[in-house]
């Protein structure tokens, strides 16, 4: 259970870290919270030759609203997201997501940026960021670029980040009034990956008409899934029980789970349907309370 | 690039240690500094037996390289007792029979002390969530919760 040898670098600026990525090439790996990478190295499932520890880069852990967006620095810890007064008051979906990741000790180290960049389809933030229509800010040798979350995940554990880019920030558009969101995850025990998870963020217009809705699914496919047909069936319609039932059915159909110890394909697909209804109802309650 | 010299402040004492980058903090504490109160259980960040404080926050020392802790402060279970007097959490585990085999106890106590700093008046539910990353396989959670409640009350008296 001793990890393989590696060379260790601890840059103090993003520029320095990017320079190291360019110099060391594809055998270099970024170390953020390390809550996925270090256990993988101990199990010898990962053996990077070089580790670039970004934890000593200043200014990458901020959580603040500016320019119409909530900005979460790549090094913001899950525990900080849970504690942030701003996030608690305006983005309960993010608190609900952070609170079911790992366990409280893991969340003291685990970072939001790492949860996305690792691109494990079982990770929880990807579905939530799909629901929130987030953008990922990638910093590379020529500066920053923004990647919409819908094109960030490109495959099983694969992202649109270039080998010499670092995920530095996540930007979430500030939700309009009468918005609500929820993340509902079924896990067998604390610290387990989701059997399935559903993230919903929606905005209501007049007469309970759904102006906008986005639905993200966790661990029911080889990539995080956005249930687009479920969203389409809701947009512009009054959020009546029949519409929610139909959306939940379409979300289940959008899922593509594999059977494992957590359940069969049929079970997981039906779970997506049930969790979608719950998440929609919770999001609607919040949206109706919102001014 | 091979081994590197790092400095750690552990339980108030400064140490300079030469480490291979792959040396985990828990191995550094136990095998280099000979502080064997911190236990190794699952080695995959599930069980919490290796919990220590890093700059005051409870973390799993099996999931951090020692080199990452360069220049930082660590408290282990050995740092709880002060001048021969048990810390209220240690007293609580003693008074409330908070352990059977004792393997999880150091981790439980380190998680609890960090938690009680921010939650001086915790509810039972809050305590149970706080220790949800620490496994006790004697299933003695009832008395562990009571031990933490004991410590919370004792710490409040002391203020």
The answer to the question of residue A2 being in a domain is no
- A237 and A263 in a single domain? The answer is yes
- A198 and A123 in a single domain? The answer is no
Q: Percent of chain B scored above 70 by pLDDT?
A: 99
Domains in chain B and their CATH numbers?
4-79 (3.10.20.30), 88-157 (1.10.150.120)
The answer to the question of residue A132 being in a domain is yes
Quick check: B45 and A106 CB within 8 A? yes
Count Cα atoms within 13 angstroms, Cβ side, for A115.
31
A174 phi and psi angles, rounded to 5 deg: -65, 125
- A106 and A76 in a single domain? The answer is yes
| Interface residue of B19, B24, B45, B114 to substitute, partner A, most A CBs within 10 Å | B45
- Closest Cα to residue A109, out of B62, B67, B105? B62
Q: Which of A1, A35, A53 sits opposite B68 (nearest CB)?
A: A53
The answer, yes or no, to whether residue A291 has pLDDT greater than 80, is no
Domain hosting residue A11, numbered range: 7-52
Q: How far is B123 from chain A (nearest CA, A)?
A: 16
Quick check: A191 and B21 CB within 8 A? no
pTM (two decimals): 0.95
Please give the pLDDT value at position B45: 87
- A160 and A216 in a single domain? The answer is no
Q: How confident is the model at residue B1 (pLDDT cuts 50, 70, 90)?
A: low
Quick check: B43 and A6 CB within 8 A? no
Tell me which of A125, A155, A173 is where a domain ends. A173
- A156 and A242 in a single domain? The answer is no
- A219 and A249 in a single domain? The answer is yes
- A111 and A208 in a single domain? The answer is no
Please give the pLDDT value at position B158: 80
Q: Which residues contact B33 (CB under 8 A, 6 or more apart)?
A: B8, B10, B15, B17
- Number of domains composing chain A: 3
- A35 and A96 in a single domain? The answer is no
A192 and B CB contact within 8 Å: no
pLDDT in tens, A73-103: 999 999 999 999 999 999 999 999 999 999 9
The answer to the question of residue A263 being in a domain is yes
Q: Spell out which residues of chain B touch residue A3, defining contact as CB-CB under 8 Å.
A: 22, 24
Indicate the SS3 state at residue B133. Answer: coil
The answer to the question of residue A226 being in a domain is yes
Quick check: A6 and B21 CB within 8 A? yes
Instruction: Assign residue A41 the CATH number of its domain.
Output: 3.30.43.10
- A46 and A143 in a single domain? The answer is no
Instruction: Assign residue A199 the CATH number of its domain.
Output: 3.30.390.50
- Closest Cα to residue A200, out of A189, A210, A188, A190? A210
Tell me which of A154, A173, A192 is where a domain ends. A173
> Strand B51-54 to strand B72-75: parallel, antiparallel, or no bridges (unpaired)?
antiparallel
Q: How far is A259 from chain B (nearest CA, A)?
A: 23
Tell me which of A33, A52, A71 is where a domain ends. A52
pLDDT in tens, A235-282: 999 999 999 999 999 999 999 999 999 999 999 999 999 999 999 999
The answer to the question of residue A1 being in a domain is no
The answer to the question of residue A291 being in a domain is no
Q: How many residues does chain B have?
A: 159
pLDDT in tens, A142-189: 999 999 999 999 999 999 999 999 999 999 999 999 999 999 999 999
Instruction: Assign residue A78 the CATH number of its domain.
Output: 3.30.465.10
Question: Between chain A and chain B, how many beta carbons pairs sit less than 8 Å apart?
Answer: 84
Q: Spell out which residues of chain B touch residue A53, defining contact as CB-CB under 8 Å.
A: 68
The answer to the question of residue A207 being in a domain is yes
- A47 and A89 in a single domain? The answer is no
């Amino acid at each position: 259970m001793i990890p393989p040898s590696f060379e260790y670098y601890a840059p103090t600026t993003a520029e320095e870290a990017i320079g190291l990525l360019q110099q060391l090439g594809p055998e270099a790996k970024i170390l953020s919270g390390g809550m996925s990478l270090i256990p993988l190295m101990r199990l010898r499932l990962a053996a990077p030759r070089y580790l670039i520890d970004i934890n000593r880069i200043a200014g990458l852990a901020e959580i603040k609203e500016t320019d119409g967006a909530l900005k979460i620095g790549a090094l913001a810890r899950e525990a900080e997201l849970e504690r942030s007064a701003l996030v608690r008051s305006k983005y309960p979906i993010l608190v609900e997501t952070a609170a079911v990741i790992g366990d409280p000790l893991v969340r003291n180290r685990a970072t939001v940026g790492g949860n996305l960049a690792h691109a494990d389809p079982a990770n929880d933030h990807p579905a939530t960021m799909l629901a929130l229509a987030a953008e990922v800010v990638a910093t590379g040798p020529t500066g920053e670029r923004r990647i919409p979350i819908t094109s960030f995940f490109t495959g099983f554990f694969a992202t649109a980040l270039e080998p010499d880019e670092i995920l530095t920030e996540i930007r979430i558009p500030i939700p309009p009034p009468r918005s609500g969101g929820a993340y509902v995850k079924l896990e067998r025990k604390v610290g387990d990956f989701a059997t399935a998870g559903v993230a919903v963020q929606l905005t209501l217009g007049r007469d309970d008409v759904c102006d906008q809705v986005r639905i993200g699914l966790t661990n029911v496919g080889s990539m995080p899934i956005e249930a687009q047909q479920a969203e389409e069936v809701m947009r512009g319609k009054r959020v009546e029980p029949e519409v929610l039932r139909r959306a939940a059915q379409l979300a289940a159909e959008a899922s593509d789970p594999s059977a494992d110890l957590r359940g069969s394909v049929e079970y997981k697909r039906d779970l997506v349907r049930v969790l979608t209804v719950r998440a929609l109802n919770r999001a609607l309650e919040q949206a109706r309370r919102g001014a | 690039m091979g081994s590197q010299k790092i400095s750690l402040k552990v339980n108030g004492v400064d140490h300079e240690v030469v480490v291979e980058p792959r040396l985990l903090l828990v191995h550094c504490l136990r095998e280099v500094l000979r502080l064997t109160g911190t236990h190794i259980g699952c080695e995959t960040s599930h069980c919490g037996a290796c919990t220590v404080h890093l700059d005051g926050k409870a973390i799993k020392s099996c999931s951090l390289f020692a080199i990452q802790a360069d220049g930082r402060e660590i408290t282990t279970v050995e740092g709880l007792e002060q001048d021969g007097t048990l810390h209220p959490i240690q007293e609580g585990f003693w008074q409330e029979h908070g352990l059977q085999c004792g393997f999880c106890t150091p981790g439980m106590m380190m998680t609890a002390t960090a938690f009680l700093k921010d939650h001086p008046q915790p509810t039972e539910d809050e305590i149970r969530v706080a220790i949800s990353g620490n496994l006790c396989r004697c299933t003695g959670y009832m008395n562990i919760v009571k031990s933490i409640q004991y410590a919370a009350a004792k710490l409040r008296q002391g203020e």
